[in-house]
Amino acid sequence: MSSDRRLTAQGVERKQQLLDSAATLFAERGFADTRVIDIVAAAGVAKGLFYWYFENKDAVFAELVTSTRQSHRLAQRDAIDPAADPLTQLRQGCEASVRFMADHAHLYALLQAEGPDQRVSELLREGTQVHATDTAALLERGIAEGLVRDEDPMLLAYGVLGSVTWFCHFHRTGRITQSAEELATFVGRYVVRSVAAEGVDESLLVGTAA
Amino acid sequence: MSSDRRLTAQGVERKQQLLDSAATLFAERGFADTRVIDIVAAAGVAKGLFYWYFENKDAVFAELVTSTRQSHRLAQRDAIDPAADPLTQLRQGCEASVRFMADHAHLYALLQAEGPDQRVSELLREGTQVHATDTAALLERGIAEGLVRDEDPMLLAYGVLGSVTWFCHFHRTGRITQSAEELATFVGRYVVRSVAAEGVDESLLVGTAA
Amino acid sequence: MSSDRRLTAQGVERKQQLLDSAATLFAERGFADTRVIDIVAAAGVAKGLFYWYFENKDAVFAELVTSTRQSHRLAQRDAIDPAADPLTQLRQGCEASVRFMADHAHLYALLQAEGPDQRVSELLREGTQVHATDTAALLERGIAEGLVRDEDPMLLAYGVLGSVTWFCHFHRTGRITQSAEELATFVGRYVVRSVAAEGVDESLLVGTAA
Amino acid sequence: MSSDRRLTAQGVERKQQLLDSAATLFAERGFADTRVIDIVAAAGVAKGLFYWYFENKDAVFAELVTSTRQSHRLAQRDAIDPAADPLTQLRQGCEASVRFMADHAHLYALLQAEGPDQRVSELLREGTQVHATDTAALLERGIAEGLVRDEDPMLLAYGVLGSVTWFCHFHRTGRITQSAEELATFVGRYVVRSVAAEGVDESLLVGTAA
DNA sequence: AATGAATGAGTATTCATTCAT
DNA sequence: GATGAATGAATACTCATTCAT
């Protein structure tokens, strides 16, 4: 029922409360095992209010995915030095991803979650695709400048995303014990090595300026 | 109801039918969105029969995960030349993973699926952990022989698993269009590059013997 | 919340807006399928305001029924020539009913609607009963004057009401395509024939003065 | 979920039980005020079973409407003497309607009920239309033979149906106290008078052979 | 082994109504 | 008067699981 309802200041706040509760619960127990009643209970409001702010359970999930993706992207953009070379930018982006996931672990979990239905799965997939395409563009510039191995940039991008995603996943689930900062550095290095061309200057690989 | 029931030849066949139907459906729509009735309908038997062969819905999932993991492991073992150097073995293992996933796409999908409950999630996690530990051991030998960069082998293993897993995921979902064979070669090369030490012999990186 | 609140001029207007919206919606989709929110949305006001003017949803329905019934009755009264013979009066009343329904189709529909609860059903029933009793009295006079067949006047009244009601119903739902005026004439004639005694003067049957 | 499920003898019986319970309750309190749980409770079975036999609540209603209409039609067919003149057939049909409704009051109530949704309303309307068309055909023959007034047969049919329906309605709701048999005779006579042409033989009007 | 019937706990969603501002 | 937020009781429907035959 929400759609483009005009919300008061209080309304905006309340909606955010619900989004937060939902995000936490979805991350903790997954979408299917989170009941609407759990979400409203966590936010301390009545069940009906949920449907004042959201069309249905799927809609909250979708909204979370969208906004998380947006924040993630902004975080990356902020972390990337537009004047730097592609390889450095790649490292910066990946490091930013690791830090973002550390700060918003519960939201980030959603991006990999099994979505509710077809529609939302689509949403997740699209987001990933955008991310991959961005990364591929970066790699392509790297190839042109001789910094990245001359391979299909899209494939390389998938590899990069895969390792970053999994590092984060294992960190979130406690199987990587290093600090987020340490992990970020490691991941930046790992990713750069994965795609760097033969004979690239050592300084780029080590990432001294990171 | 099942546990360790003694099955006739026909029984074994029936059970396999049900497992196959379940695997396909779980992969297509996920565990939660697959109903027992869908599974039996796909196998062309009555609902009650499901419980003759399986304790419950979770049990099928668990059984599928376990057997898939086993097959996967066997496939890798067969593909690895015990006499080869660690880097080559790593490449062989990864290539085998890609081929296995291509041949058993619907089963492989399960290994990354959102499990039913805590217990099964645990099962999935354990399997991944075993795989990671195996890989880390291989990498450790590589480090000792100077073929792999001197970094935390477990971290490297996570990176390797992440990229392989994601390559397979994107291939399975149609976003990588190369043939399984081409992809296997690419992934093997990608992974080796990701972990290889500086100055390793070119032949190992290119993987001529693959 | 309403009861006998003193309303300002604007208030009266607002209330009428709501009544109109409600009448239209009730006629279109029935009482149960019309939500309070639909009514206020159609009137362009906020939900809370509904309860400033009406006790509850049932109350609007009751108010509509009562006022419609009143209007209907007035319309009949105006149409009937007090000096005419019972048979002519009957015709005039029935013709007036048809015209009324044509002019206020959406209101008239309510009089036959499935009411909300016991109370309002009671209200509807009572209204019908009053109408039937009035008609029966007219018929009784007709019988006394030898213009109407000597049968139970109440039964005859039910027959009359039934046919008039159904003619209107079929006209309202588009299954009678004649104009309201044509239909009125037909119905007047039909009803008179239904109850007229044997050998009544032709002029009364034809209704030249209609 | 039902559709064309193959039912065992027991299944057929159970389904009928549920239909009976539903019919009674719908007639007593209306569709909206009858909960699925009431229906199953009345039949003494568990809630889930309802959905084994019916798609949903609307479906039972639709099924009841259809079968009632069918029975009604058969009852009429049986009551009509194919060799009789149209006017007599009309009387026989109307009398049969009255008797049918007296015997199946709770089912018959459904035919006039406010249906659940658009679809079922459509069903009800269609049924009525068929009935009206049948009656109109009969009247047309009557007109051709000079037994019925020369007016639009469809309009006459609506008038006939309206009075019959309302007689039944008032009888069912206790406002007509005569016995069903008495009422049937009265209605037959009333209807014939409503449509008979001027100067038709008295014997046809009185209906001695009824 | 196999079937179809039966069970019932569990959950999303609706909507009339009330309330604070 | 007017608004939008909040409440919570009520209910249809799903689906894993069990049972009688």
> Per residue in D66-99, pLDDT tens?
999 999 999 999 999 999 999 999 999 999 999 9
Of A44-48, C3-7, C10-14, the one with minimum mean pLDDT is: C3-7
Chain D hits for C61, CB-CB cut-off 8 Å, are none
Task: Check: CB of residue D162 under 8 Å from CB of residue C166.
Answer: yes
Which nucleotide is nearest to D52 if distance is taken from CA to C1'?
A: E5
Q: Is it true that domain B66-198 has CATH number 1.10.357.10?
A: yes
Q: What is the nearest CA distance from A46 to chain B, expressed in angstroms?
A: 27
> Is residue D112 exposed (0-12), middle (13-18) or buried (19+ Cβ within 10 Å)?
middle
Cα end-to-end span (Å), chain B: 48
Give the class (CATH, top level) of A9-55.
mainly alpha
A159:B167 CB<8 A:
yes
Task: Check: CB of residue A50 under 8 Å from CB of residue A2.
Answer: no
pLDDT of D209 > 90? The answer is no
pLDDT of C206 > 90? The answer is no
Closest CA to B110 of B93, B92, B97, B124: B124
In order, the DSSP letters of B21-38 are HHHHHHHHH-STT--HHH
Per-domain residue ranges for chain D? 9-54, 61-199
Contacts of B196 (CB under 8 A, 6+ apart): B87, B147, B148, B149, B204, B205
- Which residue bears the tokens 């980030």? A108
Return the percentage of chain D with pLDDT > 70, whole number: 94
Q: What is the nearest CA distance from D10 to chain C, expressed in angstroms?
A: 36
Which nucleotide is nearest to A57 if distance is taken from CA to C1'?
A: E12
- Whether C46 sits with its Cβ under 7 A from any strand F atom: the answer reads yes
Q: Extract the tokens encoding C69.
A: 């019934």
> Chains C and D: how many Cβ contacts under 8 Å?
92
pLDDT in tens, B19-69: 999 999 998 888 888 999 999 999 999 999 999 999 999 999 999 999 999
Chain C hits for D193, CB-CB cut-off 8 Å, are 149, 193-195
Side-chain half-sphere of A150: how many Cα atoms within 13 Å? 3
Output the pLDDT for position B100: 94
Averaged pLDDT score across all residues of chain D: 91
How far is the CA of D139 from the CAs of D130, D133, D134, D196, in angstroms? Answer: 14, 10, 9, 10
Taking residues C109-131, what's their average pLDDT? Answer: 81
A167:B159 CB<8 A:
yes
Task: Check: CB of residue D135 under 8 Å from CB of residue D143.
Answer: no
Whole-number Å distance between alpha carbons of A61 and A65 = 6
Whole-number Å distance between alpha carbons of B147 and B194 = 12
Whole-number Å distance between alpha carbons of B185 and B193 = 12
Whole-number Å distance between alpha carbons of D164 and D111 = 13
Task: Check: CB of residue D79 under 8 Å from CB of residue C79.
Answer: no
Segment holding C49, helix H or strand E: helix C47-53
Taking residues C114-125, what's their average pLDDT? Answer: 76
Q: What is the nearest CA distance from A112 to chain B, expressed in angstroms?
A: 10
Q: Extract the tokens encoding A85.
A: 């070379």
Task: Check: CB of residue C113 under 8 Å from CB of residue C30.
Answer: yes
Contacts of A37 (CB under 8 A, 6+ apart): A47
| C1' (F1) to CA (A68) span, angstroms | 42
Q: 10 Å Cβ neighbour count for D201?
A: 11
pLDDT of B190 > 80? The answer is yes
pLDDT of D47 > 90? The answer is yes
Whole-number Å distance between alpha carbons of D56 and D1 = 8
Output the pLDDT for position D114: 63
CATH superfamily, domain D61-199, is Tetracycline Repressor, domain 2 (1.10.357.10)
Whole-number Å distance between alpha carbons of D101 and A29 = 58
Nearest by CB to residue C186, choosing from D114, D155, D194, is D155
Chain A hits for B28, CB-CB cut-off 8 Å, are none
Look up the CATH architecture of domain D9-54.
Orthogonal Bundle (1.10)
- Between CA C194 and CA C201, with CA C197 as vertex, the angle to 5 degrees is 105
Contacts of B130 (CB under 8 A, 6+ apart): none
C189 pLDDT band (50/70/90 cuts)? Answer: very high
Output the pLDDT for position C210: 41
Output the pLDDT for position B205: 79
Taking the alpha carbons of C130, C132, C136, C138 in that order, is the dihedral positive or negative? positive
In order, the DSSP letters of D173-192 are TTS--S-HHHHHHHHHHHHH
Averaged pLDDT score across all residues of chain C: 91
Q: Extract the tokens encoding C71.
A: 């209007």
Output the pLDDT for position A121: 81
**Which residue type occupies B15?**
K
pLDDT in tens, C146-184: 999 999 999 999 999 999 999 999 999 899 999 999 999
Averaged pLDDT score across all residues of chain B: 90
How far is the CA of C79 from the CAs of A1, A21, C99, in angstroms? Answer: 49, 67, 10
**C47: β partners:** none
Can chain B be said to touch chain C, i.e. do they have 3 or more Cβ pairs within 8 angstroms?
A: no
Side-chain half-sphere of C205: how many Cα atoms within 13 Å? 16
Chain C residues whose C-beta sits inside 8 Å of any chain D C-beta? 30, 32-33, 113-114, 125, 129, 149, 151-152, 154-156, 158-167, 169-170, 173, 175-176, 178, 186-187, 190, 193-195
Predicted TM-score of the model (pTM) = 0.88
Question: Which residue places its CA closest to the C1' of nucleotide E6?
Answer: D49
Q: Which bases in strand E are touched by protein, i.e. have an atom under 7 Å from a CB?
A: 1-20
Cα end-to-end span (Å), chain D: 47
More confident residue, C116 or A205: A205
Chain A hits for B158, CB-CB cut-off 8 Å, are 163, 166-167, 170, 175-176
How far is the CA of B49 from the CAs of A18, B32, B55, B75, in angstroms? Answer: 43, 20, 11, 32
Enumerate residue ranges in chain A where pLDDT < 50. Answer: 209-210
Contacts of D39 (CB under 8 A, 6+ apart): D18, D21, D22, D25, D50, D60
Output the pLDDT for position B7: 77
Whole-number Å distance between alpha carbons of D189 and D90 = 10
Chain D adjacent subunits, 3+ CB pairs under 8 A: C
D177 pLDDT band (50/70/90 cuts)? Answer: very high
pLDDT of C17 > 90? The answer is yes
Long-range contacts of C126-134 (CB under 8 A, 24+ apart): C127/C65, C127/C69, C128/C161, C129/D175, C131/C73, C131/C161, C132/C157, C132/C158, C132/C161, C133/C157
Contacts of C91 (CB under 8 A, 6+ apart): C188, C189, C191, C192, C207, C210
Report the CATH fold assignment for A60-206.
Answer: Tetracycline Repressor; domain 2 (1.10.357)
Q: What is the nearest CA distance from D43 to chain C, expressed in angstroms?
A: 25
Q: 10 Å Cβ neighbour count for D18?
A: 21
Taking residues C55-66, what's their average pLDDT? Answer: 93
Q: Extract the tokens encoding B122.
A: 């645990």
- Whether D1 sits with its Cβ under 7 A from any strand F atom: the answer reads yes
- Which residue bears the tokens 């038709």? D200
Chain B hits for A162, CB-CB cut-off 8 Å, are 162-167, 169
**Which residue type occupies C35?**
R
- Between CA B158 and CA B165, with CA B162 as vertex, the angle to 5 degrees is 135
Taking residues D21-29, what's their average pLDDT? Answer: 91
| C1' (E4) to CA (C20) span, angstroms | 54
Nearest by CB to residue D167, choosing from C158, C170, C173, is C158
Q: Which of residues 8-67 of B touch strand F (CB under 7 A)?
A: 34-37, 47-48, 50-51, 56-58
- Whether A11 sits with its Cβ under 7 A from any strand F atom: the answer reads yes
Chain D hits for C154, CB-CB cut-off 8 Å, are 176
Chain B adjacent subunits, 3+ CB pairs under 8 A: A
Task: Check: CB of residue C87 under 8 Å from CB of residue C80.
Answer: no
Question: Which residue places its CA closest to the C1' of nucleotide E11?
Answer: A35
Q: What is the nearest CA distance from B160 to chain A, expressed in angstroms?
A: 7
Chain A residues whose C-beta sits inside 8 Å of any chain B C-beta? 30, 32, 113-114, 117, 125, 129, 149, 151-152, 154-156, 158-167, 169-170, 173, 175-176, 178, 186-187, 190, 193-195
C124 pLDDT band (50/70/90 cuts)? Answer: confident
| C1' (F5) to CA (A15) span, angstroms | 11
- Which residue bears the tokens 């639009």? D152
| C1' (E2) to CA (B45) span, angstroms | 8
> Chains A and B: how many Cβ contacts under 8 Å?
92
D163:C167 CB<8 A:
no
B166:A165 CB<8 A:
yes
Return the percentage of chain B with pLDDT > 70, whole number: 93
Nearest by CB to residue D113, choosing from C114, C154, C166, is C114
